[in-house]
């Protein structure tokens, strides 16, 4: 009879496993205790934290109060409101109030309403019986002429559709820009995140519900979502815009589903990911790459870090934002210098959404093998079976990569060699990291311009008057200036003019 773990872990791995288990269970115990504490006790510790935090440089002073409001069922609900404007960062009061509203927004419906939009929720059933929510952007009393083209935006790891609409300035939210240019805008959600936690047979508390990885996203979530949108809009093809893991999902889906090529005209991949280089911490990087399955010992085989949302709700927001910054630096060496403090408070409040532990294990397998492979359920490290790799070279859809030049997760040379040379181009955004391409203070000028240039490409037979979104975007901005004034964190002098990279027929790279 075999004993679990014995013989599978080396001596140097055991201390880390034990320490991780202690920390994990301690965090779980603290979260349980905190949940049963009275509101007054939690409020006391939150206010104490605020007093300490105010001693730091350039603090953001937020005051919490209890707000009671009636809901449809006649019951009162508790909600927190933050207020007190202090111009210690040079930001305007309008930016401050927009940030407050973003922190208090609990759903994408509330978030888009801040800018005068609405979302239609469409629930679809995947072929393996998960229920996913798609969000379609709409506008009351809409008088914007439609151009007959459809775009589909998909989020990254540990995210939801909310990440696309967190920017404080209306014109820096890509869905709003595309909508005003006449596009039919849809946003997707992976199984397991806050908008897709339902299965026909499995309970969300069961291990079976969380038994999915990138493979299921590629096999079911992406193709089933796209098929629904094409059917609902009666369009021939859509443009797919993905962020981070959202790009990996469409690459994988197309590589194993040739019929999907008929429904997509091009892919715009923002901060793309297929084979990330790894973690900034050499110890964690080496350890987790060598033993990805240890994640199961630390977090189980269900949901990954379910208590994050709880801590976000009770933690003083500037402190929560600081904790996210520290984590991002320790894991990926991201400094987030292109994202303002106010924008971090707004975006980080909607950064995390749930996923499975298996999905993260899958990513560590990919980083360990340095190949974009399917999930590999190996019985032991000596198993003779080999992982199956996604045949990315079979993708026959134009792919446009937009990556940050200082993004530690993107190895552009490796990615360009994996993707089909004939269909792939790439643009680097100078001094941008991974999240900067989504939430950077200059994202409209340094990322959106690339997106709109790609949308100009004549790969769909539509009237010329309904093309040229880049030119129409500039006209729109001239007639509809920024709704609030934002102060950049630092002054950049770099230009947008960056030469695109294309592989030669031999697969080499040139600038």
Segment 28-75, tens digit of pLDDT = 565 565 556 565 666 666 666 666 555 555 556 665 555 555 445 444
> Which CATH fold topology does 91-490 show?
Rossmann fold (3.40.50)
Out of 215, 221, 265, 407, the active site residue is: 407
Inter-residue contact 302 to 359 (CB < 8 Å)? no
| Cα–Cα dist 150/162, whole Å | 19
Please state, rounded to an integer, the average pLDDT across all residues of the chain: 81
Kindly report the number of other CB atoms within 10 A of residue 391's CB atom.
Answer: 13
Q: What is the pLDDT of residue 463?
A: 45
Q: Is the pLDDT of residue 85 over 70?
A: no
> How does pLDDT run across 166-184, given as a tens digit for each residue?
999 999 999 999 999 999 9
Q: Is 380 considered catalytic here?
A: no
Q: Is 184 considered catalytic here?
A: no
State how far the alpha carbon of 445 is from the alpha carbons of 178, 406, 429, in Å: 14, 18, 10
Q: Please list the alpha-helical segments (H only) found in 333-447.
A: 341-348, 357-369, 412-418, 436-439, 443-446
- State whether residue 76 is helix, strand or coil: strand
Out of 434, 436, 444, 473, the active site residue is: 434
pTM of the predicted structure, to 2 decimals: 0.84
| Cα–Cα dist 440/477, whole Å | 18
Inter-residue contact 277 to 406 (CB < 8 Å)? no
Out of 160, 244, 271, 347, the active site residue is: 244
Q: Is 43 considered catalytic here?
A: no
Sign, Cα dihedral of 30, 36, 41, 45:
positive
Tokens 């005209």: give the residue: 265
> How does pLDDT run across 272-319, given as a tens digit for each residue?
999 887 665 665 666 666 666 677 877 788 888 877 877 777 777 888
Q: Is the pLDDT of residue 77 over 80?
A: no
- CA-wise closest residue to 316 among 22, 28, 17, 62: 62
Q: What is the largest CA-CA distance in the chain?
A: 74
The three-point CA angle 69-71-74 to 5° equals: 105
Report residue 482's pLDDT band, with 50, 70 and 90 as the boundaries.
Answer: confident
Tokens 């630096």: give the residue: 329
| Cα–Cα dist 489/15, whole Å | 41
Q: What is the pLDDT of residue 483?
A: 75
- State whether residue 202 is helix, strand or coil: coil
Q: Which helix (H) or strand (E) holds 177?
A: helix 174-180
Q: Is the pLDDT of residue 507 over 50?
A: no
């Amino acid at each position: 009879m075999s004993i679990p773990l014995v013989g599978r872990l080396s001596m140097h791995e055991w201390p880390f496993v034990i320490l991780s288990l202690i920390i994990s269970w301690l965090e779980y115990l603290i979260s349980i205790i905190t949940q049963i504490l009275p509101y007054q006790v939690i409020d006391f510790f939150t206010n104490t934290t605020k007093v300490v935090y105010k001693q730091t440089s350039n603090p953001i002073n937020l005051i919490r109060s209890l707000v009671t409001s009636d809901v449809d069922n006649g019951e009162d609900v508790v909600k927190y409101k933050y207020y007190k404007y202090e111009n210690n960062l040079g930001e305007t009061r309008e930016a401050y109030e927009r940030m407050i509203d973003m922190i208090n927004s609990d759903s994408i419906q509330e978030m888009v309403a801040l800018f005068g939009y609405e979302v239609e929720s469409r629930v679809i059933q995947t072929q393996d019986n998960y229920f996913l929510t798609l969000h379609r952007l709409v506008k009351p009393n809409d008088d914007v002429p439609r151009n007959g083209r459809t775009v589909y935006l998909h989020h990254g790891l540990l995210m939801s559709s909310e990440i696309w609409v967190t920017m404080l300035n209306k014109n820096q939210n890509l869905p709003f820009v595309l909508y005003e240019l006449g596009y039919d805008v849809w946003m997707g959600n992976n199984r397991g995140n806050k908008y897709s936690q339902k299965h026909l047979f499995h309970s969300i508390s069961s291990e079976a519900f969380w038994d999915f990885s990138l493979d299921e996203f590629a096999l079911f979530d992406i193709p089933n979502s796209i098929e629904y949108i094409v059917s609902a809009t009666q369009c021939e093809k859509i443009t797919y815009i993905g962020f981070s893991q959202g790009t990996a999902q469409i690459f994988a889906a197309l590589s194993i589903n040739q019929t999907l090529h008929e429904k997509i005209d091009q892919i715009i991949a923002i901060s793309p990911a297929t084979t990330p280089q790894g973690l900034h911490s050499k110890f964690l990087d080496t350890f987790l790459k060598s033993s990805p399955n240890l994640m199961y010992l630390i977090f189980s085989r269900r949901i990954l870090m379910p208590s994050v949302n709880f801590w976000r709700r009770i933690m003083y927001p500037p402190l929560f934002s600081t904790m996210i910054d520290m984590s991002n630096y320790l894991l990926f060496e991201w400094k987030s210098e292109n994202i303002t403090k106010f924008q971090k408070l707004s975006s980080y409040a909607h950064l995390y959404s749930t996923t499975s532990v298996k999905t993260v294990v899958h990513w560590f397998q990919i980083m360990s093998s340095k190949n974009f492979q399917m999930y590999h359920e190996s019985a032991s490290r000596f198993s003779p079976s080999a992982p199956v790799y996604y045949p990315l070279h079979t993708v026959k859809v134009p792919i446009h990569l937009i990556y940050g030049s200082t993004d530690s997760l993107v190895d552009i040379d490796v990615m360009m060699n994996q993707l089909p040379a004939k269909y792939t181009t790439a643009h680097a955004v100078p001094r941008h990291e991974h999240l900067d391409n989504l939430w950077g203070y200059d994202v409209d000028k340094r990322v959106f311009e690339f997106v709109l240039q790609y949308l100009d490409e004549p790969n769909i037979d539509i009237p010329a008057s309904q093309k040229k979104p880049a030119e129409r975007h500039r006209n729109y901005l001239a007639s509809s200036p920024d709704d609030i004034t934002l102060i950049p964190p630092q002054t950049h002098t770099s230009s947008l003019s960056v030469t695109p990279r294309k592989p030669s027929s031999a697969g080499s790279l040139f600038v």
